[in-house]
Structure formats: C-alpha cells, structure tokens
Amino acid sequence: MSSSEEVISHNPATGAELGRVLLAGDNEYESILQEALLAFQHWRLLPAPNRGDIVREIGEELRAEKEALGELVTLEAGKIIAEGQGEVQEMIDIAQFAAGLSRQLYGLSMHSERKGHRMYEQWHPLGVVGIISAFNFPVAVWSWNALIALVCGNTVVWKPSLKTPLTAIAVQQICDRVLTRHGWKGVVNLLIGNDRVVGSRMLHDPRMPLISATGSTRMGRQVGQVVAGRLGRTLLELGGNNGAIVMDDADPDLVVRAALFGAVGTAGQRCTSLRRLFVQRGIARTVIQKLTTAYAQVLVGDPSDPHTLMGPLIDADAVEHMLRALERIRVQGGEILAGGNRFNALGECFVEPTLVRSHPEMEILREEIFAPILHVIEFATLDEAIRWHNDVPQGLASSIFTSSVYSSETFLSTRGSDCGIANVNIATSGAEIGGAFGGEKETGGGRESGSDSWKAYMRRQTVTVNWSKELPLAQGITFEL
C-alpha cells in the first residue's frame, strides 16, 4: 500500500513550515528494496578502489554544496551556522577517508600448520545495509555509515528522522547526481517513513543483513531485540551521559572553554554533550564562578546569526522535557546556578543554558536529558570521581582535565573511564572522524567512522588453499581407509 500520510518539516527557530514530504508506504519500501538488492549484485563487483573513486566524487559534490547544505541543517535542525557547516565538513572528511580506505580493506594471512597449504582471510560486502539516523546529526551520521558501507561494496537504504526529512532529501539528490553520472541506480536509497511502517519493516527484513541505528537507548533496545530475533547484525550508536573530571591541577580557563563548548554546543543535543562535570574541591569555587559568568554571556537566538552560540531545541516537546527534568532536579536537591528557564521572547523552542550544582546521589544524574543542562558535582579524590563518573548506565564520551600524568594515565587505565571515548584536556564532544566512534553499556557498543570500523560492514571469510598433492589434516588427525 502506498501511504497518503505526510510529514511537515518545521524550522525550530521560527516555527515556520519548511516543507511537506509524503511518507513512503509498503509499496515504496518494496520497490526501493528491490532496487537496492539488484544494485548490490553489480556494485559488489566493481573493484573497491573504483567504488572509492565514486565516493570521493560524492565528497567533492558535498564540498561544492557545503554552504547550502549547512544552511539547510541550520534551518531544519536549528544548529548554529558553524555547526551546520561543520557537519557537512565531517561528511567531506569521511568521504576522503573512505576513498583512501577503499585501497586498504586488508585481511591477514596466517601460517598454516599443514604443509603446502595457505591460509588467509578476506572481506566481502554484506548486502543492503539499513541506516536509521537521529535528528541531531541529520546528515553526518548517515555519511559515517553510508560512505564506508559503499566502499565496502554494500548498497544502502536510509531512514532518517522524521524531524529532519529535507536535509536527507538534499543529501540523496547530491549522491544521485554523482551516481547517475556513472550510470548507477539503487546504490544509495532514501526511505522517508514512520517507524511503524518503514522502521519496523527494516528491522524485520532478513534481506538487510545489517541495521545501523543511531538514536535513543529506548530505540536501540527495540532495534537490537528485533534484529537479534532474526539473527541479523546491528550497529548501535545510542544515548550518552558524558562526564568530565576536573582535577585541582587543571587550567581553569581551559576547563571553562571546553565545558562551555561541550555542554552548550548544539544546545546540549549531541550524543557526546557534556552533562556531568566533576570538580575537585580545591578548584571548584574558581571553576563554578567562571562557568556561571560564562553562562550568563552565552548568546542564545537565531541560529543563522553568526554571533549566536546556542540556537533552539529541536521542538516544543524537547523544551517541555527539559523543564520537567529541571523540576525533578530541584526536587532531588539540585541548585540552579545559571539559566533554568524557557526563553519565551525568542520563540517556543528556546531555553537558557543551565548550570546546576548537584550531588552524586541524585537519581536524575543517571539519565541522558537531551538539553543544555550541566551538573557540577564536587569530589575529594580521583578514585571517588572515577567511581561516580562510571556509575551510570551509558558509556559514550569522557574527559579528564589535569596537568598530572598520574591522574590522566589513571583515568585512561583499566580502572579509569569505562567509556568508548576518553579524552585528556579537551571536551567530551567534537570527535574527529579518524577514530572509531561509539560507546559502551547502554550506548550500544557500536563503532563507526574511522579506524577499523569498516569491518562492521563486511563479512570475514577465512580461506585455506591446499596447493600440494597431499591431504594432511589439521591437528595431525589421520583418517584413512
């Protein structure tokens, strides 16, 4: 059945309608999937460096459209200009990375215990990779997955967040331009549909061997269970609840700049946003004073004004969610040091960046509140700070600020941070594409982007070739008639 439902895209800064998109129904799902399956039969045969060359061209096309696409991200997701442009830059970076990677999809070779035998492993593409993405990185997260999956020989089907359908259409058109030039169809595909029809079908569909899903832990739990039920693979990039530890010997000015970027950047709507700042007693007063002053100076407003540091939240529901969380924070004993209100004068999606003095027993510290709320918690010893830092269900990004090698190495050691990302003297957010990105525990365990994350998009095949005229068996077994 075709769907007659549509989704309206709004500008969160003004509330203005940006456009309407007709949602895909069952018929569109099936025809897109057939195209992706057919394209895979041919795309996988194109040598990887040639696939890399096409991905490189997609990167060049993105570079040409960087400003326009970045502006669209600002319009539809409410990110400030620098962040909208930065998101497209990330896509360009990953395209370059993927193009280089296309000549480096290496397998190992092993020495066989059998005479005249050769052993090695090789990597093959999986098939049609399903990508589900969140609103807060409406285009970059797609590129981390898609551009790597493509050089690996897969075709991709993307289901973006219904909060940001227009940016997805723009990206699809940019890719179509390049792929059509080379005579390719069905390699990169877009399905804008709701979770009930498109989302659910993707999860249940055995023709998609891998579902890479980015979003809340609630969503990841559903995706993980359904796909595991058909023994499919998932790559889950879920919520974070990121903490930083500030030791007495840290540079307080550096801490404040980094904390501000980490907590206020993207209006606290990054999976890596800084949410919990543990400050050692000796430096706490200075850091809190400087942070409070800095918070009062953050310019909140129109994200397309280059002076603005913080734009709106994605929608009115997100504002309500933040205000309800602040109520709970007050009930649990948190003290609001800065902010704490909605910015009515600006529009219905604007809030003040908020700084809270909290204590480690507060239950709400265990949750990811997707808004610009930063908890400051004082501690006495590094061991105590690490214990509190790790005592949350999520495990994405973490930082320590210190000039002591002992403290930083302890934090990076096996008894330190339990997160997928651990930084020293920089914020929890703002990762580069060259490293593997992802987190532990309820963050889902997936790794995307750089390093050897490409392996998630391929299947490993162990090969043994007997080039002798004998048939020796492994483990010295004899089996003769």
- Which of these ranges, 34-42, 178-186, 195-203, 296-304, lies near ligand NAD under the rule CB under 6 A? 195-203
> Closest distance between ligand NAD and the C-beta of residue 159, in Å?
6
| CA distance linking residue 358 with residue 350, whole number of Å | 24
Helix axes 165-181, 48-64, angle to 10 degrees: 130
Which residue among 199, 243, 312, 395 contacts ligand NAD (CB under 6 A)? 199
Structural Rg of the chain based on CA atoms: 24
How far, in whole angstroms, is CA 351 from its chain's centroid? 24
| CA distance linking residue 356 with residue 12, whole number of Å | 26
> Closest distance between ligand NAD and the C-beta of residue 108, in Å?
29
> Closest distance between ligand NAD and the C-beta of residue 345, in Å?
26
Give the max Cα distance, the chain.
90
| CA distance linking residue 451 with residue 369, whole number of Å | 30
Task: Fill in the per-residue mask, 428 to 457: x = in contact with ligand NAD (CB under 6 A), - = not in contact.
Answer: ---------------x--------------
Within 366-405, the residues that bind ligand NAD by CB under 6 A are: 368, 370, 396
Task: Fill in the per-residue mask, 109 to 138: x = in contact with ligand NAD (CB under 6 A), - = not in contact.
Answer: -----------------------xxxxxx-
Regarding 97 and contact with ligand NAD (CB under 6 A), the answer is no
- Which of these ranges, 217-225, 288-296, 343-351, 427-435, lies near ligand NAD under the rule CB under 6 A? 217-225
Strand, coil or helix: 287? helix
Strand, coil or helix: 248? coil
Active site residue 271: yes
Q: Helix H segments across 309-454?
A: 316-331, 382-390, 405-412
Regarding 240 and contact with ligand NAD (CB under 6 A), the answer is yes
User: Which residues make Cβ contacts (< 8 Å) with residue 346, sequence separation at least 6?
Assistant: 300, 301, 312
| CA distance linking residue 239 with residue 427, whole number of Å | 17
In terms of Cα–Cα distance, which of 24, 275, 39 is closest to 158?
A: 24
Within 310-369, the residues that bind ligand NAD by CB under 6 A are: 368
Which residue among 14, 89, 96, 200 contacts ligand NAD (CB under 6 A)? 200
Which residue among 238, 245, 338, 421 contacts ligand NAD (CB under 6 A)? 238
Active site residue 175: no
**Could you tell me how many residues of this chain bind ligand NAD (CB under 6 A)?**
29
Regarding 215 and contact with ligand NAD (CB under 6 A), the answer is yes
User: Among residues 366 and 415, whose Cβ is nearest to ligand NAD?
Assistant: 366
User: Among residues 60 and 320, whose Cβ is nearest to ligand NAD?
Assistant: 320
Q: What is the four-CA torsion angle of 447, 449, 454, 458, rounded to 10 degrees?
A: 70
Q: Which helix (H) or strand (E) element contains residue 129?
A: strand 128-132
User: Among residues 33 and 284, whose Cβ is nearest to ligand NAD?
Assistant: 33
- The answer to whether the beta carbons of residues 130 and 148 sit under 8 Å apart is no
Sites of contact with ligand NAD (CB under 6 A): 132-137, 141, 159, 161-162, 195, 199-200, 203, 214-216, 219, 222-223, 237-240, 271, 368, 370, 396, 443
Catalytic residue numbers read 237, 271
